[in-house]
Structure 1
Amino acid sequence: MPKNRIGVYPGTFDPVTNGHLDIIRRAARLCDHLVLAVAVNQGKGPLFSLEERVAMVEYELPAIEEATGTTIVVRPFKNLLMDFAKEQGAKTIFRGLRAVSDFEYEFQMAGMNSRLSPDIETVFMMASDKCQFISSRFVKEIGKLGGDIKDFVTPNVRENLLERFSKES
């Protein structure tokens, strides 16, 4: 049987956190090929450039690919998510949920996406209990104020954050 179940996990990944990596690992077990769609999203005023965010995500993938047997690629995107998913041949969009507040927004987005592309399913994945409180925004805020972020990001991402914050000081 050919492997052809393609999924997309979109996000800004500014920076990629242990919560993101948890969803990536779990989504990779549900498809044969996973595309991590890194949003340009200048409206959010990212701390890292698109290229830096892509590089940080790519750095974390070999171990996940080896553990799951799933091919994972990172692609930047700036168009409609559903158009991007179609271009990739995806049939599934993966979205992580941390709390009820995430659900309302994601539920509305999934409804709109379903209208745009009824043949692509959105799969919601609840954050693992150890990751429910992690957000890129909080990680950046804690790190910028000198707090310990080692439990929220990988050593590579932590190093990138600390380097960025030292340049801003």
Structure 2
Amino acid sequence: MVKILLEHHANPATLNRKGYTPIVTAIKRAQGDIIQEFINSKALVDVVDNKKRCALHYAVNTNKDSIIQMILKANVFQADIPDYKGNTPAHLAAQKGNQYLVKQLLVAGADIFYITNNENKTADALLNETLNKPISHQHKIKRSPKETKCPPVERSKSTKANSSGHKGL
């Protein structure tokens, strides 16, 4: 269906009532086959919605590696597009404490050390903040009243500040 619509020049940048582009709707529903159709048709996967978010922002929010990889492999340079809060996809991954995804975005060309969001924080700084929180805060674990507070996550030497002042992954 998507292929037919695109062949008949349907606009892939049209926003629905909620302000999402068609590819974002497919990403939110984890519809890999439809996402791939948009990518194969060279549809505008880097179009931003009413929150200034592109497909990669939403792919990161799904936390589904297969969807993230589809968008990254589309090879559109959207790794550093800031949303309405100034957050790039790397900022969103860092807020989730997803070190693996932050590294993937870095390899894909994301700047995690210098681009700051509206709170003047880099993705690297957010990742380090998140990793320093107790595990219960990172994953929003519901705990019984009997449980005690979790200790902070131990960090390896590689995550401590290096001589250049940047906190490494």
Answer yes or no: same fold by TM over 0.5.
no
State the TM-score bracket (shorter-chain normalisation).
Answer: under 0.3
Would you tell me which structure has more helix in proportion to its own residues?
A: 1
Over alpha carbons, which structure has the higher Rg?
A: 2
Would you tell me which structure has more strand in proportion to its own residues?
A: 1
Q: TM-score, normalised by structure 2?
A: 0.24
Ranked by relative contact order (alpha carbons within 8 Å, sequence separation 6 or more), the top structure is 1
